[in-house]
Amino acid sequence: MSLKDYLFTSESVSEGHPDKVCDRISDAIVDTFLAADPLARVACETLTTTNLIVLAGEVRGPAHVAENRDLLEKVAREAVRDIGYEQDGFHWQNAEVRIHLHAQSVDIAQGVDAAGNKDEGAGDQGIMFGYACDETDELMPAPIAFSHRILKSLAEARKGGAAGLLGPDSKSQVTLKYVDGRPVGATSVVVSTQHADAASSEDVRELVRQHVLGVLPEGWMCPEDEFYVNPTGRFVIGGPDGDCGLTGRKIIVDTYGGAAPHGGGAFSGKDPTKVDRSAAYAARYLAKNVVAAGLARKCTIQVSYAIGVSKPLSVYVDTHGTGRVDESKLATALCEVMDLSPRGIREHLSLSRPIYARTAAYGHFGRTPEADGGFSWERVDLVENLKSALGL
């Protein structure tokens, strides 16, 4: 029997968190390659620390991008500038940029590339999960949705000049109380945010409070003694100057805040032939359409792949006891309404375009589909197809 009354917590980190700085740079590099060649291959990892940015990985694309160190350095610097780092310990202009990107392995390429009668294969083996639930309008778990919104609100205020005493680096954590399986209010909220040296703890607390109140539904605010803002007291030194950052270390923040399984593969820095990214997007897309169609209140989907093989090895569906149709029939219907081969996913969701830098902070899921194809996996355009495939 599943637990109905409980507390559940999720956290988020801002675009200025050291790991998210790395995710943003890596995805900006992906966008640069895809803008030049939609079939480019990129696996770019970034490391940041005090006034140092290091890019490493494997690429295949036009020489005017792959061999243009000045361009790649400029892309990295512009990503840092957009986040807002102009600090002594980490500055978009002054940081040293080292580039160690080299050609993609021919052994990997031969397995992934389409050739003759062989379709495009998966870029690696692995398992990927997608999830959706009806707790929020965006069909995401409420704790991670609110955690993201708090930090996004703070970032918009900082960039717009309304919160000039704040720095780019911040984290949030929201604990919600569930009654009969539904969220009813917050029991604690934690926000740690970088701030100017001259800012008092009370100034920061009251500024943050307004953004939390603006995000949580009316009456959901936690008790005052469970509202924690910068619990250590000071947070002046932040970003990569305070903590080394690496691409791909915030995979739970990127997805469902721990409310659903994760296959383990990070997204940022990878072109869409890498199923770590594209198949996780497809699984979210399908799960969201299942819930949007009213076929379940919760839906988890797992898919698995082998490197170089085009078809998924398995498709698993779990509606957590909330489904209106048999799960095995639902799995069959999902495979009917969408081709889950790497090529099929890439083409169905139009993933071979420069749409990834915007995904690097505030979650890859629960976002609004954009006119240029950004967040295409958040569409709910399969609802009628799913119902038809199920005979509903």
**Distances in Å between the alpha carbon of 306 and those of 87, 125, 190, 194, 223?**
45, 4, 41, 43, 49
Q: Which residue is associated with the tokens 């009813």?
A: 184
The Cα 15–Cα 362 span in angstroms is 7
Distances (CA, A) of 212 to 139, 256, 340: 20, 20, 39
* Measured CA distances, 148 to 253, 254, 314, 364 (Å): 9, 10, 32, 11
Non-local (6+) Cβ contacts of 90 within 8 A are 48, 50, 51, 80, 239, 240, 241
Binding-site positions for Mg(2+) read 19
Pairwise CA distance, residues 204 & 352, whole Å? 42
**Rounded CA separation 192/52 (Å):** 24
> What is the chain's alpha carbon radius of gyration, rounded to the nearest angstrom?
21
* Length of the chain measured in residues: 392
Residue numbers belonging to the annotated binding site for K(+): 45
Binding residues for ATP: 17, 169-171, 234-235, 243, 249-250, 266, 270
Would you say 62 and 56 are in contact if contact means Cβ atoms under 8 Å apart? no
Residue with tokens 């009456």: 219
Binding site members? 17, 19, 45, 58, 104, 169-171, 234-235, 243, 249-250, 266, 270, 274
Write the DSSP string, 93-114. TTSEEEEEEEEPPHHHHHHHS-
Annotated binding site for L-methionine: 58, 104, 243, 274
